[in-house]
Chain A
Amino acid sequence: MSSLDPVLMSRMLTGLTLFVHIVLATIGVGIPIMLALAEWRGIRTGDNHYTLLARRWARGFVITVAVGVVTGTAIGLQLSLLWPTFMRVAGKAIALPLFMETFAFFVEAIFLGIYLYTWDRFKNKWTHLLLLIPVAIGSSASAFFITSMNAFMNQPQGFELVDGVFTNVNPFVAMFNPATPTKVSHVLASAYTTSAAALASIAAFNLLRGRKHVYFKKALKITVVSTFVFAVATVMIGDFSGKFLAKYQPEKLAAAEWHFETMTEAPLIYGGFLDENNNIKYALKIPYALSILAGNNPHQEVIGLNEFPENERPPMSVHYFFDLKVTSGAVIVLIPLLYMFRKKLPGKKPYPKWLLISILALGPLSMSAIWLGWFLAEIGRQPWIVRGYMKVSDAATTSTSVGWMLVLFIILYLVLSVSAIRVLSQLFRNKSAEEEIRTLGLDIEGGDRK
């Protein structure tokens, strides 16, 4: 085990940690927004069901935040443990966003603690809701800073490389590089979408299990409609990201599209596979679509992979990530749309089973879209760690123990995931929503206008 290549092992361990962390980080960014929405509706309409909804979400949210904090700590340390040379050299340009991220995290941690422990402490209901503002700002700002650091690795600027040392660094130019706007907005919008979709899945699951209380229907409505709004925004920003790639990182777009020859009127390739000679087989070709994607113009010139030396091309497998991700995106917009037009659909039931099953799929679907998107973004800039400046193979640790650490972390993440899922499911099974509505007397107190 110790004889295995530390570079490959480091890549695998970093990838594994991020794979786990991204689930929790995404939820961490999006759920506060949903909490605020539900609590705000509860106060505005006087309908306590929404307040209960926020309360129950918050209870589960704590568990995911706890695991998210620890996986986040892990990746924070692994940056230096597994990539010491990268941090030593590039750290001079990217320390600022990393540092700011911890401040944002600090604010989030403080106010989340207060929010969770003050449900009945303030006389004015709005005070408690206002506590969510710093939580939401903190978590979204964390995403902003950390994504801008990642954007720098894709689109480095704001320094000069002299004899392997970053000099003349301008931290702000580095932070606000051309990749930052599209990356950050796409990450935020997709995190909001995924969180709303995950909560929609839970509501659909309850309705599928035959629970008829109006509480679940309200939960379904607020989450599915939010998913739709966020998903539309995500798709639109995704389109900007494609245009960004065409202009600044053409090799990533070209690899994702198996686009070898530079040409105008470029077709978009969907599906299929490549043979040994890089000939595309069984793929669907949509004429002009890639040119339109790259520049809103069928005559747009799109740079092909052949312009790049072979050892600087990303792996061709990113094509599948791109296709799957874009497809999921379309489905995630479509399902909520069907829900919103459910009354116009054929059939008599207001909540047909097939529709509920599709909504149930929303959460897992959008989570996989997040993973696929990150695979595309990260694998798509191989072999570079800082694109154009430093290769992944020059940045990793030389330690021979990485393999063992990988084994340890695999075990850790398995234990954490299994325990977290068990604890979460017990949490909601032991105290059902109907029971809580009854004990709190929410049906009598009003708000429940059927």
Chain B
Amino acid sequence: MSYELIGITVLWLFLYGYLIIASIDFGAGFFAFYARLTKQDHLINRLISRYLSPVWEITNVFFVFFYIGIVGFFPDTAYYYGSALLVPASIAVILLAIRGSFYAFENYGSKKSLVYLFLYGATGLLIPASLSVALTMSEGGFIVKQGETVSLDYWELFTNPLSWSIVGLAIVSVLFISGTFLTFYASRAEDHAALKLMRNYALFWSTPTIILALTAFIYLGQHNERHFQNMMDLWWLLGLSVAFFMIAMWLIYNGRRYGLAFICVMLQFFTAFFAYGIGHYPYILDPYITVQSSATTPAMGFALVAAFIGGLFLLIPSLILVFKLFLFDADYVKGKK
């Protein structure tokens, strides 16, 4: 396998990792705020903060990691996406900044404030919406290139049903993934009140997730024939995705094996995400950037792959340690430690 192919595969894996853990994080923020509004916060707040407190910083690193990785492996992306996305990406950065710092202010500061919690909860939904612009843009047709000046066509972006269906899909997926994870976490904590609430949230958000996934897929077909056709050729991956979704729903509905249910949700998104990614290949930004045309110099490419392998030796044991301490330690989850 060539280094640029290794690069894009690894980056896609990391983006997937970010998608899952950020969704848990973003959704949890929204649920925490919503529960406070509906006066149910006593049921879930402790659960949410016990999981989130040790990991919020790690979530952010996943994002930075993907981002630096893609710019490093494919410097042309910095040029095109950087030029075109100045406004949406700056807004995403501002939202991330508000979210990250107000989470810390709310949790480690001494004053509990509804304003802080609102900022934390609302940004949790706006961030996926603003980040999804990059995904929409990659389908092509949203960039205007005049000479050496690259800019985003906002009119096209805001009037295109594809961009809105992707935004919608991003938001409901966040709530669905987060809901199923927190259901699992509540069941581990043997916190029955929280479990009941989170299970309702998970079931509620499953329907819009699957509907919007289908909608986005249809609009993709109208917008980018090539990508759509490639994904149709990967029908078995999409079929697997739907199957995992159904297993997860069946488990949650029947109130059993929540851990397995969450794994199924992860696999559901994994298969769909990779079908989407493989279908997109070889383009990173249709039609300007392909994996091959934008790759960095071979020496840098190999250095990055080597750094990556070395880094994983540090990263994987560390992540396992975190999971062992905060996710799979029954006493900690139950609040005894």
Contact = CB atoms under 8 A, between A and B. Distances in A.
Contacts of B307: 96, 99-100, 103
Contact of B75 (A91, A106, A409): A91
A102 to B, nearest CB: 5
B109 A426 contact: yes
A423 interface: yes
A430 B85 CA distance: 43
Interface stretch (B99-107, B212-220, B248-256, B280-288): B99-107
SS of A interface (majority): helix
A69 B296 contact: no
B71 A81 contact: no
Interface string A86-128: 0111011101101111110111011111101110110000000
B86 A399 contact: yes
Contact of B53 (A69, A80, A117, A426): A117
Interface string B91-124: 1011011101111110011110000000000000
A122 to B, nearest CB: 10
Given A70-B97, A103-B307, A106-B61, A405 B87 contact: yes
B82 A113 contact: no
B78 A87 contact: yes
Nearest to A173: B299
Contacts of A116: 53-54
A76 B63 CA distance: 11
Interface string A385-413: 00000000000011101101100110010
B65 interface: yes
A336 to B, nearest CB: 30
Given A73-B60, A107-B314, A427-B109, A99 B101 contact: no
A170 interface: yes
A102 B60 CA distance: 11
B64 A397 contact: no
Contact of B97 (A73, A81, A85, A427): A73
Interface stretch (A60-68, A311-319, A340-348): A60-68
A218 interface: no
A172 B101 contact: no
A183 to B, nearest CB: 20
A114 B300 contact: no
B35 interface: no
B332 to A, nearest CB: 8
B292 interface: no
A80 B93 CA distance: 13
A324 to B, nearest CB: 30
B321 interface: yes
Nearest to B69: A99
B225 to A, nearest CB: 29
A14 to B, nearest CB: 12
Contacts of B54: 113-114, 116-117
B300 A169 contact: yes
Nearest to B66: A102
Contacts of A161: none
Contacts of A74: 93, 97
B72 A98 contact: yes
Nearest to A402: B86
B78 A80 contact: yes
B94 A95 contact: no
B110 A431 contact: yes
B4 interface: no
Contacts of A62: 104, 108
Given A92-B297, A427-B109, A66 B68 contact: no
Nearest to A113: B54
B89 interface: yes
A79 B78 CA distance: 9
A297 interface: no
Contacts of A331: none
A393 to B, nearest CB: 14
B86 A81 contact: yes
Interface residues of A, number: 77
B193 interface: no
Given A95-B75, A100-B307, A109-B57, A171 B89 contact: no
Given A66-B100, A80-B78, A114-B322, A95 B65 contact: no
A242 interface: no
A87 B315 CA distance: 27
A223 interface: no
B293 interface: no
B239 to A, nearest CB: 35
A111 B75 contact: no
Contacts of B104: 62-63, 65-67
A133 interface: no
B73 interface: yes
B96 A73 contact: yes
A80 B304 CA distance: 18
Nearest to B303: A171
B300 A95 contact: yes
B100 A401 contact: no
A271 interface: no
B98 A77 contact: no
Nearest to A72: B64
A357 interface: no
Given A91-B71, A96-B303, A419 B83 contact: no
Given A81-B86, A99-B69, A103-B307, A114 B321 contact: yes
Contact of B83 (A69, A399, A416, A426): A399
B184 interface: no
B79 interface: yes
A169 B299 CA distance: 6
Contacts of B67: 76-77
Contact of B105 (A63, A102, A117, A134): A63
B300 A106 contact: no
Nearest to B337: A121
Interface in B42-67: 53-55, 57-58, 60-61, 63-65, 67
Nearest to B319: A110
Contacts of B318: 106-107, 110-111, 134
B86 A113 contact: no
Contacts of B314: 103, 106-107
Nearest to B314: A107
9 contacts: A63-B105, A73-B96, A113-B57, A114-B54, A134-B318, A170-B299, A171-B300, A398-B149, A412-B97
Interface of B: 53-55, 57-58, 60-61, 63-65, 67-69, 71-73, 75-76, 78-83, 85-87, 89-91, 93-94, 96-98, 100-105, 108-111, 148-151, 296-297, 299-300, 303-304, 307-308, 311, 314-315, 318-319, 321-322, 325-326, 337
Given A59-B108, A95-B68, 11 more contacts: A66-B105, A66-B108, A80-B78, A81-B85, A84-B83, A102-B64, A103-B307, A112-B57, A113-B54, A420-B101, A420-B105
